[in-house]
Amino acid sequence: MNNPFERISAAFAPEYRVNLSITNLDGSIMLTLSDDAGVVAKRLITQAQRNDPVRLQRVIDSIRLGLAIEHSQNPMQVLAALTRDARQEPRHFVAN
């Protein structure tokens, strides 16, 4: 999957509603994740992060880690799930 917008949506869509909006003329986008209770995360993704597959995956993993910690998950288990072989994309970690 080469389209960064599709990649971001696919990473979070199973658990959250995904909204991507252009925020600045520099190409940055705002990612807003929400569920039935409201907004659960908001992150600015720069054009450089969006256009580099490795950096984009790091952003996605960072957001997943933050969400899992907020849901009282064990950070070591979350990191283990996120650091699996990168060829096993997409990487999903479901918060309990």
- Residue range 16-30, pLDDT digits in tens: 999 999 988 898 999
Q: What is the mean pLDDT of the chain?
A: 83
44 forms bridges with which residues in the sheet? 30
Residue 84 to residue 86: CA distance in whole angstroms: 6
- Residue range 51-71, pLDDT digits in tens: 999 999 999 989 988 888 887
Whether the CB-CB separation of 82 and 93 falls below 8 Å is answered with yes
Domain edges within the chain = 4-82
Tell me which of 21-25, 32-36, 76-80 is least confident.
Answer: 76-80
Per-residue pLDDT band for 82 (boundaries 50, 70, 90) equals low
